[in-house]
Amino acid sequence: MKSNLYLAAKLICYLLFNLFIFNASAQIERTAYYTKAGRETKLKDSAYFSRTIVHMTDQPMSYFKIVEHYLPNNTIKLNGTVQDTGIILKFFGKLEEFYFNGEKRSLENFNSENVRVDSAFYWYPNGKLRTISHYPFNDKIKGGVAYYIAHYDSLGNKTLENGNGFIRIEYDHDDYLQGEMENYRREGKWEGIMSKLPITEVFARGKLLFGVKTKDNGTTISYDSTTYWVDPVYPSGMPKLMNFVARHYKWPKEAKRNNVKGVLEISFVVNKEGYLEDIVVKKDLGFGTGEEGIRVLKMAERWKPGILRGEPIGVMFTIPIRLDANP
């Protein structure tokens, strides 16, 4: 009897110890639900997938385990690690994604700057290998640039090897581009669908010569390498914006009273007209500091909007505001 009590007590101590260790190394932050378009929803029954964030407190930096599941069958959609839980996820290390049927979709690696590095593998929904690519990272190439090693069609036939041949590059939301590559660079005529619109682009040694996008009403928009992608621009530049924020930011009384110090982060979208929308406090220091940051940004001048493939586009920004109640 004493022996059984001793074993029971030992088992309870073991379970409590391991529970303590688990809670010390990982704490579940929250589970949220999202539509197929990626927008958060409170309605689980109408959600396309769930996202669970687990805080990795045993890591030297703030890392979070992220796991997504398709709903309602609860099969895995994504498994990886992020460096924060903001609107834009910053991945780190190995990232796995899966199709709705459970087959693996991709295996990628990210560095601490949220840039793809090393080897990456992509599969078809039928489980067959689609693409092998490599993202080098060195003094000349800072990652994020894909070198396509091999590509196969859905039947397993190789169509590209060592950067030469035909390839179909697939993106989210059923977007794709396809064409020929020579020495790892796009060459000649490429066609595809981007944002549900048909496009045609012509390349020479990897450089875009021109492109044409056809709208739903039949009108076309032409562009070249100078109008393919243009960042939004604040009048007179970002230093002017930061100076504007510094001059017009009014310290909340509670923030001063509590000697607030740190970096406030606010994200926003510069829309197609150049106005700010979806302004969100990404990292708040409390005591009204975030609300004041939003107020000041709303007072700033109108931006020159960003451009993608010849058309204005909404672009998300995150800016830091350094605060010190007692400088």
Task: Please report whether residue 56 resides in a domain.
Answer: yes
Predicted TM-score of the model (pTM): 0.77
pLDDT of residue 85: 63
Percentage above 70 pLDDT, the chain: 86
Alpha carbon 59 to chain centroid distance? 22
- Residue 138's pLDDT band (cuts 50, 70, 90): confident
In a domain, 210, yes or no: no
Cβ 221 vs Cβ 215: under 8 Å = yes
- The number of distinct structural domains making up the chain is 2
pLDDT per residue as tens digits for the range 19-55: 333 344 445 578 999 998 888 888 999 999 999 988 8
97: exposed, middle or buried (Cβ count in 10 Å: 0-12, 13-18, 19+): middle
Residue 97: give the domain boundaries.
Answer: 2-187
161/14 same-domain check: yes
From 61, 77, 80, select the one nearest 69 (Cα to Cα). Answer: 77
Question: Do the domain assignments include residue 280?
Answer: yes
Number of CB atoms found within 10 A of residue 159's CB: 14
Q: Is 230 part of any domain?
A: no
Residue range 7-20, pLDDT digits in tens: 333 333 433 333 33
Does 211 fall in a domain? no
**CB-side neighbour CA atoms (13 Å) of 273:** 3
Is-cis flag, bond preceding 320, omega within 30? Answer: no
pLDDT digits 0-9 by tens, 142-161:
667 899 999 999 999 999 99
295: CATH: 3.30.2420
The Cβ-side half-sphere exposure at 149, using a 13 Å CA radius, reads 12
Structure-token pair, residue 35 = 């539509």
Q: Please give the DSSP secondary-structure letter assigned to residue 254.
A: H
Task: Flag whether 156 is in a domain.
Answer: yes
Same domain flag for 9 and 145 = yes
Geometric angle at alpha carbon 89, from 85 and 90, rounded to 5°: 105
Nearest to 30, CA basis, from 66, 61, 59: 66
144: DSSP letter: -
One domain, residues 303 and 179: no
Question: Bridge partners of 241?
Answer: none
Same domain, 9 and 142: yes
pLDDT of residue 55: 80
- CB proximity list for 322: less than 8 A, separation 6 or greater: 262, 263, 264
Contacts 24+ apart (CB under 8 A), 203-206: 203/179
